[in-house]
Amino acid sequence: MAASSVAASELLQNMNKHISILYPKASYVIRRISTSRQRSDSQPQLRVKSAPQQLVGVVGLEVHAQINSNTKLFSGSSVRFSAPPNSLVSPFDASLPGTLPVLNTRCVEAAVMTALALNCTINRTSLFDRKHYFYADLPAGYQITQQRRPIAVDGFLDYSFLGGKKRNQVIKRTVSIKQIQLEQDSGKSLHDDLRSQTLIDLNRAGVGLMELVMEPDMSCGEEAAAAVGELQRILQTLGTCQGNMSEGQLRVDANVSVHEPGEPLGIRTEVKNINSIRYLAKAIDYEIQRQIAVLQRGGTVQSQTRAFDSKSGETVPMRDKEGLQDYRFMPEPNLPPLIVYEDNASLPTGIDACQVVVVQAIREALPELPAVKRERLVQTYGLLPEHSLTLVNEDGLVEYFEEVLRATKKEPRKVIGWVTKELVGHLKQQDMSVSQSPIAPSALAELLELQETGHISSSAARRVFQEMWRSPGKTALQIIREQDLGLVSDTAQLHNICQEVLDSHPDEVNAIRGGNKKVLNKLMGLVQRETKGRADPVLVRKIIQEKTS
């Protein structure tokens, strides 16, 4: 403080002296050296909020789902994930003059089906518009979309996830869907930084997309991930989108802001470049924390677009696009309004059946949605909601479970734990899917039968399961024989062992006789240790109770 200023001014004096000696003709003098301390004193203090704020996150999502169809939205070119560059491109897709868009019936049906599954109102009439912007992978210079009146509005998506302390409570939420619109996908650009050029592949240009706008009803990464997961399942069940995020079939952008509950919404940022559900949760949670930190420092959140960097787990700003984009929306003059009909009765006379989309027919053809499936499993098998949630959420698990049930007489409620805890637990540890399980449903069923019929205890069964997992060829019976895990049901032997234990623990025997029944468990534990866990617990308890009565 004072000391450093004094030192600084001394230094100044010395320097000036030297300068005038060395350069007598020089007319300049060093007037001030700013030390770091001086600098900070002269700057205004940053506002620091006094009370800690209860800031919460607000998350809205924009989802682009690639329609699962044979051809593109407005042209007859094929839709495929990988193909030689520019081989799936028609003159219309390349925006050559003299070409016109012709709408694909399948894409309309897919949009209507998705809208119905998401409880939307279908707009009987919807319109197409052009959204203009310049980019190399958009050959026409505009994208055909539905800005004025989309095909569906005002829906909602129910989703749930496991929460609570033990993560076994089903927590239900709903997110509103503002609208669903049909639009074209753009081509792909590959940046060749070495040669300073961009290579364009138009195979994806013109593929049909459904844009789903979700209202900012979510508050954190977990909720957003659960919502997108459920959406993915619904789309895959409907067959309208294959929902593979890593292949770009399902793209999610998150709009994130923070605020104090009850206060107006804060400035939001848009987070892009998220290509898995796990990263979606991470990106959103990081962004919420980042914004809270900014506000707590007294700063303000800048409205900007940020990209998620999966390596660092952070969001980083994308360079500002050239000011505010003016998309110059205009009606697409080559496409009259799209009309969908409620039912066959409302069709105009003489109209060609191939030229119409009838909502009622699509509604009747809707498959069983995941939520309905979960409820059905609860009813059919007497399961708990958290069990059916896990069953439906894991690909192929329902089929696995039902196959096990077919091969065993055991009750579903007794089988479910093995499937949702043991099997899923092991699969998750090694990041495997159900189809990769080393234990087939029939093998698990065999193990459960052996347990049910008293050949092995529950704890032994778990050990056998682990051994079966490690050595996929071996059957349960083999392992039981090899490791001698079979239940000891030889009553004479059990009597002897129990007697030994009771003889060596007279205090405990007295305690039981005195009314303390809990000590019985300790004695049972000792017997189990003697028998290496192979004693039938029911039998042991009976024997001990007899002997101590």
Q: Using CB under 8 A, which of the segments 75-83, 369-377, 418-426, 479-487 binds another protein?
A: 75-83
If the CB atoms of residues 273 and 475 are measured against another protein, the closer one turns out to be: 273
* CB-based contact 142:101 (threshold 8 Å): no
Q: Which of residues 117-136 bind another protein (CB under 8 A)?
A: 134-136
Contact flag: residue 89 with another protein (CB under 8 A) = yes
Q: Measured from the CB of residue 140, what is the shortest distance to another protein in angstroms?
A: 14
Q: Measured from the CB of residue 380, what is the shortest distance to another protein in angstroms?
A: 36
If the CB atoms of residues 192 and 399 are measured against another protein, the closer one turns out to be: 192
Contact flag: residue 84 with another protein (CB under 8 A) = yes
Q: Which of residues 340-399 bind another protein (CB under 8 A)?
A: 354-357
If the CB atoms of residues 262 and 323 are measured against another protein, the closer one turns out to be: 323
Q: Measured from the CB of residue 247, what is the shortest distance to another protein in angstroms?
A: 16
What CA–CA distance (Å, rounded) separates 422 from 18?
82
DSSP symbols for 500-513:
HHHHT-HHHHHHHH
Type of residue found at 10? E
If the CB atoms of residues 331 and 472 are measured against another protein, the closer one turns out to be: 331
Q: Which of residues 243-282 bind another protein (CB under 8 A)?
A: 272-273
Contact flag: residue 334 with another protein (CB under 8 A) = yes
Q: By CB under 8 A, name the one of 105, 121, 174, 433 that touches another protein.
A: 105
Q: Which two tokens stand for residue 255?
A: 């709009």
Contact flag: residue 189 with another protein (CB under 8 A) = yes
Q: Is 73 helix (H, G, I), strand (E, B) or coil?
A: coil
Contact flag: residue 86 with another protein (CB under 8 A) = yes
Helices 537-548, 506-513: crossing angle, 10 deg rounding: 80
Q: By CB under 8 A, name the one of 8, 19, 62, 85 that touches another protein.
A: 85
Contact flag: residue 149 with another protein (CB under 8 A) = no
If the CB atoms of residues 334 and 489 are measured against another protein, the closer one turns out to be: 334
Q: Extract the runs of DSSP E, i.e. beta strands, from 370-476.
A: none
Contact flag: residue 183 with another protein (CB under 8 A) = no
Contact flag: residue 475 with another protein (CB under 8 A) = no
Contact flag: residue 106 with another protein (CB under 8 A) = yes
Contact flag: residue 145 with another protein (CB under 8 A) = no
- Nearest C-alpha neighbor of 81 from the set 201, 182, 171, 178: 201
Question: How many Cβ atoms from other residues are within 10 Å of residue 547's Cβ?
Answer: 15
Q: Which of residues 190-209 bind another protein (CB under 8 A)?
A: 190-192, 196-202
* CB-based contact 217:227 (threshold 8 Å): no
Q: Rounded to whole angstroms, what are the CA distances from 84 to 147, 185, 215, 387, 514?
A: 33, 18, 39, 45, 84
If the CB atoms of residues 48 and 324 are measured against another protein, the closer one turns out to be: 324
Question: How many Cβ atoms from other residues are within 10 Å of residue 539's Cβ?
Answer: 18
If the CB atoms of residues 45 and 355 are measured against another protein, the closer one turns out to be: 355
Helices 491-503, 537-548: crossing angle, 10 deg rounding: 50
Q: Rounded to whole angstroms, what are the CA distances from 368 to 68, 230, 244, 278?
A: 19, 14, 21, 26
Contact flag: residue 70 with another protein (CB under 8 A) = yes
Q: Measured from the CB of residue 318, what is the shortest distance to another protein in angstroms?
A: 6
The three-point CA angle 497-503-506 to 5° equals 135
Instruction: Give the gyration radius of the chain's Cα atoms.
Output: 34
Contact flag: residue 88 with another protein (CB under 8 A) = yes
Q: Which two tokens stand for residue 237?
A: 């069940």
Contact flag: residue 428 with another protein (CB under 8 A) = no
* CB-based contact 90:76 (threshold 8 Å): yes
Q: Rounded to whole angstroms, what are the CA distances from 328 to 38, 144, 145?
A: 52, 12, 13
Q: Measured from the CB of residue 356, what is the shortest distance to another protein in angstroms?
A: 8
Q: Which two tokens stand for residue 52?
A: 């800690």
Contact flag: residue 491 with another protein (CB under 8 A) = no
Contact flag: residue 114 with another protein (CB under 8 A) = no
Contact flag: residue 322 with another protein (CB under 8 A) = yes
* CB-based contact 146:108 (threshold 8 Å): no
Contact flag: residue 78 with another protein (CB under 8 A) = yes
Contact flag: residue 310 with another protein (CB under 8 A) = no
Question: How many binding residues for another protein (CB under 8 A)?
Answer: 62
**DSSP alpha helix (H) spans, 239-369:** 277-296, 359-364
Type of residue found at 517? K
Interface with another protein (CB under 8 A): 69-71, 75-78, 84-91, 93-94, 96, 102-108, 134-136, 189-192, 196-202, 272-273, 307, 318-323, 330-339, 354-357
